[in-house]
Amino acid sequence: MNESPDTNGWEDQIGALLDGELTDEQAISLRAAAEHDPTLARAIDGAIELRQIMSKIPAEPAPRRLRKQLRQIPRQNRVVDRSGFLQLRWVMASATAAIAVTIAISQMWPQGPTDAQITQARQEFNLVLAYLARANRKTSNSIRLNIGHGFAGPVTKNTVRIISNQFGLDKE
Amino acid sequence: MNRWMIAILAATLSLTAMAQQEELKALPGYVEFGELSSVYGEPKVMINIGGTILKFMSAATKDDPVAAKLFKGLQGVRINVYSTAGQTGPAMEQLTKVKDILMNDDWEPIVQVKESDEEVQIFMKLDGEAIQGLVVMAVDGEEAVFINILGMIEPSQLSEVMEKFDVDVDL
């Protein structure tokens, strides 16, 4: 991997940038550094994308203290693992996994389905009913065919005979 | 977006679908239709509607008491449809396997139509007088359809809802 070993030092600043906690000078300095450091630029882009995804999730944000603790995890392991960007990735991966679980729960939880989801389920249900109707048509056609070959002839012949007798048609 | 993020989010969505499938598997009316993807490729229609969303559908159709009652009783609706493209053998084989399982598991055969190029089987699972599940399997030269409806089903309600809904979709 060709990540910059300096990326470790930027983690807090990226977090602070997204939280709007950097001064103008610090923000300009960070952006200037990103122009010369593709790894840093990717880290910022990734963090922004993640923040955008999180903003679309209908869930309460994690407590500030927890986010701070998450940001501190790579720092605690810095001595063991020097690939700082990799650590940032794992923090982001953990956060994304947490978002994923939130999405899954919000989709399954009783308070969850939106009008659009209910409408879609209704359309899907209609499609199932359409297939049921088609199977029903096939079976009823088959039954009609069987009746036609087996019973329909005698039944219709008898009916015609009875009606004919009633009205004396066979005498004419 | 980074690939790993997409992978995690995609995995989440399939996890949700799998969770619905798992929720349905625990019900007595659930039937495992087996795997036909290796022969026909991915199903052209695959729907799993879980009990939770059906309850919301029931609440959303309060103006239609019959449909609302039907949705309320249902616990799940599943359908798998494969394109057979004239190759009905594997689907017929699968249908026979499922049919044998159902017969051994006290499902009642309701309608069976067997012709040279097509077969339809309809089974019901009864618990006393209540229906716990309905299975419809239909195979012909065009497609193989496997439907499993779970929950308390009143056939009269089902047909009434079918008449009310515009279900005459050109399939």
pLDDT digit string, tens, across residues A84-106: 444 555 555 656 665 665 555 55
Mean pLDDT of chain A: 65
Check residue B138 and give its pLDDT: 94
Check residue B98 and give its pLDDT: 96
For residue A91, which residues of chain B lie inside 8 Å, CB to CB? none
Nearest to A127 among B16, B20, B45 (CB): B45
- ipTM of the shown complex: 0.78
Asked if A96's CB is within 8 angstroms of B47's CB, the reply is no
Give chain B's residues under pLDDT 70.
1-21, 155-171
- The pair of structure tokens assigned to B18 is 């799998």
Which range scores top for mean pLDDT: A49-63, A72-86, A123-137, A147-161? A123-137
Provide the residue ranges of all domains of chain B, joining segments of one domain with +.
3-164
For residue A85, which residues of chain B lie inside 8 Å, CB to CB? none
Provide the CA A25 distance to its chain's centre, in angstroms.
Answer: 40
pLDDT, tens digit (0-9, with 9 covering 90-100), for A126-167: 888 888 888 877 777 766 555 544 444 444 455 555 555 554
- The pair of structure tokens assigned to B158 is 């089902």
Check residue B57 and give its pLDDT: 83
Check residue A172 and give its pLDDT: 43
β B45-50/B119-127 pair status: unpaired
Sign, CA dihedral A151-A153-A156-A160, equals negative
- CB under 8 Å to B44, separation ≥6 — which residues? B81, B82, B83, B143
Provide the residue ranges of all domains of chain A, joining segments of one domain with +.
5-108, 115-171
The helix (H) or strand (E) run that includes residue B78 is: strand B74-83
Other Cβ atoms within 10 Å of A159 Cβ, number: 10
Nearest to B47 among A89, A93, A127 (CB): A127
Return the residue of A nearest to B70 by Cα.
A125
- The pair of structure tokens assigned to A148 is 């036609």
Question: What is the four-CA torsion angle of B23, B27, B33, B36, rounded to 10 degrees?
Answer: 0
pLDDT, tens digit (0-9, with 9 covering 90-100), for A9-29: 677 788 888 878 888 888 888
